[in-house]
Structure 1
Amino acid sequence: MKERDMLSRRGFLGTAALVSASAVSGRVQAASIPEAPLMDKMTMQPPLHPTSGPDYRPVVTLNGWTLPWQTNGDWKEFHLVAEPVVREFAEGMRANLWGYNGQAPGPTIEAVEGDKVRIFVTNKLPEHTTVHWHGMLVPNGMDGVGGVTQPHIPPGKTFVYEFELKTSGTFMYHPHSDEMVQMAMGMMGMFVVHPRDSSFRPVDRDFVFVMSSYLIDPGTYLPQVSEMTDFNMWTWNSRVFPGIDSLPVRLGDKVRVRMGNLTMTNHPIHLHGHHFAVSCTDGGWVPESAQWPETTIDVPVGAIRAFDLIADNPGDWAFHCHKTHHAMNSMGHEVQNLIGVSKKDLAKAVGKLAPDAMVMGSTGMAMGAMEMPMPDNTLMMMTGSGQFGPIEMGGMFTVMKIRKGMARDDYRDPGPYKNPEGTVAYEVDATGDPIPSSSKPKAMPHDMEGMKGMEMKE
């Protein structure tokens, strides 16, 4: 990680009080609180390889990073700072959230089964907080439930959590203080514990992300934290398509994808072009004899699911939530269905009141090529473009890009897939003969042909 991606917190921490998460302050032997790095990039950072201890294949976090640590005797020491942040969901939209170390969600924490970890948590929020280690087996006083297992961490204070990592697997972290507000504001992250035996279930590429949902009214910047059902931004690592990283994969690699769900609903996550095996939950590894094949795996609320696959089918493969409105941005749930309805009279009436308005929907809602006035800080419902035209997606959607010849730690987007000649769907005439692409008429953007005339003609 480059120095310019980090920000020292020594000045702030010099005045912070240090207490333990439970009555074990005598056990804290830190010579000094480790600095808390700050990430200012929106794209996936390179894997953070271990420099000591057991070897493992590190994860990469979609649009995220792994939190560095320092070694202090037998302990690995990390430092999380809970604080207000600004997160870009995609180009053209930012949100005022709460998170950790400059981003929401916070950085992924990585360690090894059997490690002793010491995690300092500094509170720079305007209210108290805690951290719960979701799915992890820890001493009761380190579980992070404010008022039950520890005092809440007041603003300006630093608490420390200490525990040994009993099991490997994929876990999450999030507050158990004012949980409705703090999680709705983006406070969460992933915690990956690698097996001590590096020969246990090894993979070549290991991706991780956490799912969160928000209601942010068009033109505004702040989530509605009391919302329970009517969300309009469905995110992976608080990013939406086209702002979500692709998953670059070398042809033939064994790939693991770990997904945490801290939204208010389940998500059936679907990968095109491959079958995969469900390999892990937040309760542990699924025995190989009990794994089952899937192309879609439902991730329940408050759970993680991981799947493994062999990337043996080259191409650009869609990877998304199969709840269709979760693959859209700024989705309004009260949009009327006007398919088959003439818009002529309506368009004239609307045009008198708002000359720039568009009356849409009589033939569908496709809008990938449309341009229309929008409130500031608002994304189109469907957007993005590819080599064959508009993609018309949003929300929880990205692409796994499988290519030959990629380097081991190369996670750069390789660009569009070059399909072998004769392997792309094509248009035919009435006799079934292919129509040359040069003779095809250029279509108007869907649902726009004649629209302006319809609005203005008397």
Structure 2
Amino acid sequence: MNSRRDFIKLAGIAGGAVAATSVSKVAMAALPEPIIQTSPDTMAPLFPKTGRPYNPVVTLNGWTLPWRMNQGVKEFHLVAEPVVREMAPGMKAHLWGYNGQSPGPTIEVVEGDQVRIFVTNKLPEQTSVHWHGQRLPNGMDGVAGLNQPAIPSGKTFVYEFEAKRPGTFMYHPHADEMTQMAMGMMGFWVTHPKNKHPLIEEADRDYCFLLNAYDIDPGAYTPKIMTMLNFNLWTWNSRVFPGISPLVARKGDRVRIRVGNLTMTNHPIHIHGHEFEVTGTDGGPTPKGGRWPEVTVDVAVGQMRQMEFIADAVGDWAFHCHKSHHTMNAMGHDLPTLIGVDHTGISKKVHSLIPDYMAMGERGMADMTEMDMPLPDNTLPMMTGDGPFGSVEMGGMFSVLKVRDNQKPGDYTDPGWYQHPKGTQAYEYTGEGLPPAPSSARSGPAAMKAQNMPATNIEVQVKKPVGHSNH
């Protein structure tokens, strides 16, 4: 559908498919060709060939949506549709997204741009698009039923507004959003400053990604949309470690990382080896008097956080969510803790019935990374990913910041593993004369004297109430 005639025909059938009556007649010209991308790789930054210049972002395991200029208006075409997303090698999910991906492509514009977005709905139900954090006419805000009719399946709507302020934003549905966002419908939006801004530095590397989460049973392909908290796949841009690309930088680069959270819980995002400052939110740049050095920032639900630092320490530095169960893949929540329990006898009996049975958790879970355990179709180990010294024992929301002296400006290729200079790496002690380790008997006295203690020890047993696992 690339001709003006076809578009006018479509608009007539839709019965008012334009998002607001104020949209100019220019919007009725032929639709821009939709650009589709299915690769899960991190694509190179898209430098603008038309419109105002800017320094582009790099979307982690994603890409930027191309546009066309039409009489001074920057036009994009989003297609809401079912997609197949590789979460990591060995697992694919049947999601909903935009232009072949979940999340959808990043939209990059410049402050003051007149923007027109055509949204074609190829979902089996109606949808809309909310432009999270944007200042725009009320009829373009995208809340179905409140600001506009929902976009029926098979129809195309038009959104048109001015990108009024620079910042870090996102887009997502506001129609059956519990289903549609749980299925992966979301995308990033970056508005670059038109001129030099007193609160916005020039960055050498500018990364962005969205936090999202899914509950997909092993062997299944489609998320369970009714899950509220107990997700088993915590993702960055619908990818899990080891499928998340590294963030690459040259020593001395100013690195900006923009993170948006569309999960059901907060995420303390933590970096190793560096300190950063939060320089912006979805409300705009942070005043310099409100910045301080951090190594962890909590990104709450529906928030955007923009952090910046100088990559002055070479090496391979972990970068992850600090909630420990968010750096695991496909983990169940109902397994008992068996640390210290000898179940050798039980294992032998079960093996006679189930030859592939494997006892879990007797010594902790690290052994799982070394076992070649058969898995159900289309799922991932809980902890996986090989580093230069063995298993990294991570999954989920985990990646690596790779800082190198010789990484060329603009080069985002993976430089491989860091080679540690002699004498700069932890090693096994094989000598003699270790000092004795202090024991609890040498510990100091209690902070307060115990009072009214029972004469005999009491064993407490706790049983969780049935039906409250999501609270």
Provide TM-score, normalisation by structure 2: 0.88
Q: Alignment partner of 2:79: what SS? A: strand
AA paired with 1:397? Answer: F
Aligned to 2:231: 231
> For 2:106 and 2:433, how far apart are their aligned partners in 1?
53
Matches within 5 A, 1:42-441: 42-198=40-196, 200-366=200-366, 367-431=368-432
> For 1:432 and 1:195, how far apart are their aligned partners in 2?
62
Aligned to 2:461: none
Cα–Cα, structure 1 residues 432 and 185, in superposed 2: closer, same or farther, change >3 Å?
A: farther
Q: Alignment partner of 2:432: what SS? A: coil
> For 1:345 and 1:369, how far apart are their aligned partners in 2?
22
How far did 1:53 drift? 3.7
CA contact (8 A) 1:45 1:60 kept: yes
- What root-mean-square deviation, in Å, do the aligned CA atoms of Structure 1 and Structure 2 show? 1.6
AA paired with 2:372? Answer: E
> For 2:396 and 2:2, how far apart are their aligned partners in 1?
38
> For 2:279 and 2:22, how far apart are their aligned partners in 1?
37
* 1:21-78 Cα shifts (integer Å, max 9, x gaps): 1222454445321111001211110101112343221000000000000001121000
> For 1:275 and 1:26, how far apart are their aligned partners in 2?
47
Cα–Cα, structure 1 residues 13 and 65, in superposed 2: closer, same or farther, change >3 Å?
A: farther
CA contact (8 A) 2:91 2:378 kept: yes
Q: Alignment partner of 2:401: what SS? A: strand
> For 1:89 and 1:54, how far apart are their aligned partners in 2?
35
Cα–Cα, structure 1 residues 422 and 26, in superposed 2: closer, same or farther, change >3 Å?
A: closer
How far did 1:369 drift? 1.9
* 1:429-455 Cα shifts (integer Å, max 9, x gaps): 24169xxxxxxxxxxxxxxxxxxxxxx
Cα–Cα, structure 1 residues 214 and 205, in superposed 2: closer, same or farther, change >3 Å?
A: same
Q: Alignment partner of 2:348: what SS? A: helix
CA contact (8 A) 1:20 1:28 kept: no
Q: Alignment partner of 1:190: what SS? A: strand
Matches within 5 A, 1:36-47: 36-47=34-45
How far did 1:149 drift? 0.1
Aligned to 1:443: none
Aligned residues: 425
Q: What is the percentage of aligned positions where both structures have the same residue?
A: 60
* 1:131-158 Cα shifts (integer Å, max 9, x gaps): 0001111110000000000000001100
Q: Alignment partner of 1:348: what SS? A: helix
How far did 1:370 drift? 1.5
CA contact (8 A) 2:212 2:236 kept: yes
CA contact (8 A) 1:16 1:156 kept: no
* 1:369-409 Cα shifts (integer Å, max 9, x gaps): 22111100010000000111111100000000000122222
> For 2:196 and 2:109, how far apart are their aligned partners in 1?
13
CA contact (8 A) 1:184 1:214 kept: yes
Cα–Cα, structure 1 residues 151 and 277, in superposed 2: closer, same or farther, change >3 Å?
A: same
Provide TM-score, normalisation by structure 1: 0.90
Cα–Cα, structure 1 residues 377 and 339, in superposed 2: closer, same or farther, change >3 Å?
A: same
Q: Alignment partner of 2:240: what SS? A: coil
Cα–Cα, structure 1 residues 347 and 312, in superposed 2: closer, same or farther, change >3 Å?
A: same
CA contact (8 A) 2:184 2:238 kept: yes
How far did 1:13 drift? 6.9
Cα–Cα, structure 1 residues 28 and 176, in superposed 2: closer, same or farther, change >3 Å?
A: farther
Cα–Cα, structure 1 residues 388 and 288, in superposed 2: closer, same or farther, change >3 Å?
A: same
> For 1:56 and 1:25, how far apart are their aligned partners in 2?
27
> For 2:327 and 2:142, how far apart are their aligned partners in 1?
33
> For 1:178 and 1:31, how far apart are their aligned partners in 2?
30
Q: Which runs of 5+ in 2 are unaligned?
A: 435-471
CA contact (8 A) 1:30 1:72 kept: no
> For 1:153 and 1:10, how far apart are their aligned partners in 2?
20
Cα–Cα, structure 1 residues 202 and 25, in superposed 2: closer, same or farther, change >3 Å?
A: closer
CA contact (8 A) 2:23 2:160 kept: no
Q: Which runs of 5+ in 1 are unaligned?
A: 1-8, 434-458
